[in-house]
């Protein structure tokens, strides 16, 4: 499954947090803000990844348009296909940071 659901449970307080399909979208869209909102991930690492994705996107689009690697008619389609791909990849990376943060704090991690 591409968007694996996760459930994190604290063994003592029984606090439970679920990260499911739409969480990947929101994590990909908001990045470090989503990691901060969930509360158990490395916000600094998430912010660094956001900056790297932003730089990579600007360089990629700049190279695509400036170097004319693709015919002008196909540039818009290439960019339109790249945006969802970037959101999906970034979402997976943010959810992995959240998952690692919960594990480090002693939460039980289960697939949902």
> In sequence order, which residues have a C-beta less than 8 Å from that of residue 95 and are 6 or more positions away?
6, 19, 23, 24, 27
N- to C-terminal Cα distance for the chain? 12
Sites in the chain below the pLDDT cut of 50? none
Tell me the per-residue pLDDT of 49-61, one tens digit each, with 9 for 90 and over: 999 999 999 998 8
Per-residue pLDDT, 15: 87
Per-residue pLDDT, 101: 92
pTM score:
0.86
Per-residue pLDDT, 37: 93
């Amino acid at each position: 499954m591409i968007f694996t659901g996760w459930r994190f449970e604290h063994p003592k307080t029984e606090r439970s947090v679920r990260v499911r399909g739409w969480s990947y979208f929101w994590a990909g869209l908001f990045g470090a803000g989503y990691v901060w909102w969930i509360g158990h991930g490395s916000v600094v690492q998430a912010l660094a990844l956001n900056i790297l994705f932003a730089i990579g996107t600007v360089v990629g689009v700049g190279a695509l348009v400036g170097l004319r690697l693709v015919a002008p008619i196909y540039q818009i389609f290439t960019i339109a296909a790249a945006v969802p791909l970037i959101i999906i990849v970034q979402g997976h990376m943010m959810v992995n940071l959240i998952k690692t943060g919960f594990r480090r704090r002693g939460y039980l991690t289960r697939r949902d």
